[in-house]
Amino acid sequence: MNQAAIDDLLGFLRFPSVSTQHDHAGDMRACAEWLRGRCEKAGLSARMEETGGCPCVVAETPKDSAKRTVLIYGHYDVQPPEPLEEWTTPPFEPDIRDGKIFARGATDNKGQILAHLLGVEQTLAEKGNLPVNVIFLIEGEEEIGSPNLGALTSKLKQELACDVIVISDTGMVVHGHPTLTFSLRGITSLEIRVSGPSHDLHSGVFGGAVANPATVVARLIASLHDEKGHVAVEGFYDDVRPMFDWEVQASEALPVREEDIRELSGVPELTGESGYSAIDRIGARPTAEVNGIGGGYQGEGTKTVLPKEAFAKLTFRLVPHQDPEEIQNLVMDHLKKHCPPGVHLEIIRGHHGEPYYTDPNSLYGHAARQALSRTFGKETALLREGGSIPILGTFQQILGAEVLLLALASPDCRAHSPNENFPLENFEAGIRLNQAVLEEIGNLPR
Amino acid sequence: MNQAAIDDLLGFLRFPSVSTQHDHAGDMRACAEWLRGRCEKAGLSARMEETGGCPCVVAETPKDSAKRTVLIYGHYDVQPPEPLEEWTTPPFEPDIRDGKIFARGATDNKGQILAHLLGVEQTLAEKGNLPVNVIFLIEGEEEIGSPNLGALTSKLKQELACDVIVISDTGMVVHGHPTLTFSLRGITSLEIRVSGPSHDLHSGVFGGAVANPATVVARLIASLHDEKGHVAVEGFYDDVRPMFDWEVQASEALPVREEDIRELSGVPELTGESGYSAIDRIGARPTAEVNGIGGGYQGEGTKTVLPKEAFAKLTFRLVPHQDPEEIQNLVMDHLKKHCPPGVHLEIIRGHHGEPYYTDPNSLYGHAARQALSRTFGKETALLREGGSIPILGTFQQILGAEVLLLALASPDCRAHSPNENFPLENFEAGIRLNQAVLEEIGNLPR
């Protein structure tokens, strides 16, 4: 592919734009300024929008009311690169090996959003205009939960009004396979803190007479699932609809084997809720997970304490029609009901994110599938993904537009991990995908 | 009480003889040397015995074969003083307030062992000799599990041969009440490590398809008890005998209320195995406790990982006739049987300690009760304690002598905790108790 495009990406990747680390505030701004300039160079009218946090870059074509408007969303901030010692080459000194660019942010999300920008630039250069109006909205706080993007979207609601939203921040089901993600799980989180004794007790002097907070936390966690892996919280599945027949068929047609998932995760064997395939347990079924647990003595060897407290951090991934707040309430009721006497139970409510679902058989879904199939030369896979992108709910609510999730990440891209990478062929395909999807949307009957 | 005795204890307490912290090696030796000198001054023949670790002090009277021989065991090492900020006065600058000496080691065990030494000194000063032969064995590694004392006891088996062993390292059932501890629980420990994924996974991308190691650890812990608080490991209670009638009566006669235990522990309510009083659940029933648990993200806020591993540190307190190694095997079998597929379970065997039991109605038991009752002016309480002193099993095995556990610690002494203290009246009573118990043993019919 063309060296200028690669050099652009290398330059973009050299900014250590880590949004969660305050000492990178200057790098964030420099990266946003570079991006704004690159949008201008591509032929767009671009500016910075202050948010109170890291700035957003907004770049757009002139509005032609005869054309549809496509909002392309992405982010220039990246996850922290630590642990640094696990990187083969430094995270902010991009290196090309085996046809892949290795750097923090290579896939998530600099490589993907730049591909869209270069696609737009190339079409403008070749044809002088685009088949649709385009607005780029590229934020700098995605990795910290987009705390300011909702307010900015509301503020710019008129300007950001669009027919459809295009995002490339999801993964291909297998490397090189066109993938339209039509569903994402929602999330609700909470933390439980169980306390009993006023101080860590001697487990001999008191053990037997008092409840052990670590045991209580363990029993509460154990109460969340039955023997078959179903979530045992009363009412948890009430709003979960069965999969549609076409969803089952689409899932079965996915070119992914359970062995691929097992290899990627590194577990000795896949397990989970009985009655569903692994891919459906991830994409189409809700879960209850422990993200962290702690209490008592965690050092080397033995310390015979009966700990004064223990905690667990829990998240529940949710599927369409489950309401995050309602599920959180059901879980809280369940935990209170199952908590034994002799301890105090504190439950700290955490954040929510709505499940996302769009019909891949809609007009825009069809355009996206066409564009993906044309770009990659294969039938587009329709995927329900297990992750969550809470901002989609905000977009749907404020802008009222459908979202198309067009995958450009490979399954082994190591986003959020050391040695994150982006294959050059994905980068090149991303440029073509942008051109194809804008063309397909532009060609839709009005 | 006499100021010279108090000054002796203050001097003893100023040594920061923390056996587990290597930078205190010099302090350990200085403390042992001080103690050796103090034994000499009391009229005993005293020496240091090297152990490979911290030295032991051995001090004795000349052997008179017409007299019984009493071995008095204690230790000059102390627990680490941390957290320092919770001490009202510095841990190694002893301070007297409200009739108590506050310092690390004040009760455990410097105050108690010094009381015995001063008792012997006083009798020698008053009468010129003792009613029994006495050997002091005072080690410097009790707080780290006495790793070298077994070997030393074997090496000095001839010299340490004795009729009975006297130890003051246990607690009075309530402040000022004479207490003979006739049973201690044993212990066996193990650590479970559950691992699955090769790295922390994204809980959205993989959650549902793989077993969560933290959930597995929680379910394994939950499997250890039934709903009534009984340990649910098959065969766990097979060797536990019912309490004797006189034990039940002795337990019911103890001048301690459940409310006292609740207050000392700080829990909102006492709980535990159904069918037993709190005091019996501590002293006469075995337990399964979690001493520590950990896995996944433990920092502030949320991190949606599915952790690659989790662990728990477990100890089981055991009662007479339960064999620690056999129980450890039963627990391992139970854990393996209950571990679900999809994870690796590693079990690390920990240390053992035998349960201790002696008949308080024996000849020596009777002498001890007489001495305690005379010293404190009340009927002696007979107590089964919940803690463990693993070295007692070693003594019984090598020296074949009965052990008398004569309490000098108050329930609120805060041993191992900040603001450890020893009431001056306990110190003074300890001196008299030593004189009384040696006299009672000396008077026993041969």
Q: What is the pLDDT of residues A283-324, one digit of tens each?
A: 999 999 999 999 999 988 888 899 999 999 999 999 999 999
Residue B83: what pLDDT?
83
Residue A173: what pLDDT?
92
- Looking at beta carbons, which residues of chain B come within 8 Å of A299? 292
Taking the CA atoms of B207, B213, B217 and B223 in sequence, report the sign of the dihedral they define. Answer: positive
Whether the pLDDT of residue B75 is over 80: the answer is yes
Whether residue B296 and residue A287 make contact (CB cut-off 8 A), yes or no, is: no
Whole-number Å distance between alpha carbons of A178 and A372:
5
Checking phi first, is residue A111 left (phi over 0); if not, alpha (psi -120 to 50) or beta?
A: alpha
Whether the pLDDT of residue B134 is over 90: the answer is yes
The CA–CA distances, whole Å, from A307 to A206, A311, B277, B384 equal: 11, 11, 22, 23
Whether the pLDDT of residue B1 is over 80: the answer is no
Please answer whether residues A17 and A28 qualify as being in contact, where contact means their C-beta atoms are separated by less than 8 angstroms.
Answer: yes
How far does B264 lie from chain A, in Å, by closest CA? Answer: 9
Tokens for B442?
A: 């000396």
Taking the CA atoms of A240, A241, A242 and A248 in sequence, report the sign of the dihedral they define. Answer: negative
Asked casually if ipTM beats, i.e. exceeds, 0.95, the reply is no
Residue A96: what pLDDT?
98
Tokens for B332?
A: 């391992």
Whether residue A307 and residue B315 make contact (CB cut-off 8 A), yes or no, is: no
Whole-number Å distance between alpha carbons of B139 and B157:
16
Q: What is the pLDDT of residues B139-189, one digit of tens each?
A: 999 988 899 999 999 999 999 999 999 999 999 999 999 999 999 999 999
Burial B230-245 (b: 16+ CB within 10 A, else e): bbbbeebeeeeeebee
Whether residue B291 and residue A269 make contact (CB cut-off 8 A), yes or no, is: no
Tokens for B98?
A: 């409200």
Whether residue A290 and residue B307 make contact (CB cut-off 8 A), yes or no, is: yes
- Looking at beta carbons, which residues of chain A come within 8 Å of B312? 214, 218
Q: Report the residue of B290, B313, B314, B345 to disrupt the A interface, i.e. the one with the largest count of A CBs within 10 Å.
A: B290
- Looking at beta carbons, which residues of chain A come within 8 Å of B341? 268-269, 271
pLDDT band at residue B389, thresholds of 50, 70 and 90?
confident
Please answer whether residues B103 and B15 qualify as being in contact, where contact means their C-beta atoms are separated by less than 8 angstroms.
Answer: no
Residue A253: what pLDDT?
94
Whether residue A341 and residue B317 make contact (CB cut-off 8 A), yes or no, is: no
Average model confidence (pLDDT) across chain B: 95
- Looking at beta carbons, which residues of chain A come within 8 Å of B268? 196, 341-344
Going residue by residue through chain A, which has 446 residues, state the pLDDT in tens, using 9 for 90 and above: 789 999 999 999 999 999 988 899 999 999 999 999 999 999 999 999 999 999 999 999 999 999 999 999 999 999 889 889 989 999 999 999 999 999 999 999 999 999 999 999 999 999 999 999 999 999 999 988 899 999 999 999 999 999 999 999 999 999 999 999 999 999 999 999 999 999 999 999 999 999 999 999 999 999 999 999 999 999 999 999 999 999 999 999 999 899 999 999 999 999 999 999 999 999 999 999 999 999 999 988 888 899 999 999 999 999 999 999 999 999 999 999 999 999 999 999 998 889 999 999 999 999 999 999 999 999 999 999 999 888 898 898 899 999 999 999 998 898 888 899 999 999 999 999 999 999 999 999 87
Q: What's the predicted TM-score (pTM) here?
A: 0.88
Q: What is the pLDDT of residues B406-436, one digit of tens each?
A: 999 998 898 888 899 999 999 999 999 999 9
Whether the pLDDT of residue B237 is over 90: the answer is yes
Q: How many CB atoms lie within 10 A of CB B52?
A: 10
Beta-carbon pairs below 8 A across chains A and B? 301
Amino acid occupying residue A404: L
Q: What is the pLDDT of residues B8-30, one digit of tens each?
A: 999 999 999 999 888 999 999 99
pLDDT band at residue B390, thresholds of 50, 70 and 90?
confident
Residue A144: what pLDDT?
85
Q: How many CB atoms lie within 10 A of CB A274?
A: 11
Q: How many CB atoms lie within 10 A of CB B193?
A: 16
pLDDT band at residue B300, thresholds of 50, 70 and 90?
confident
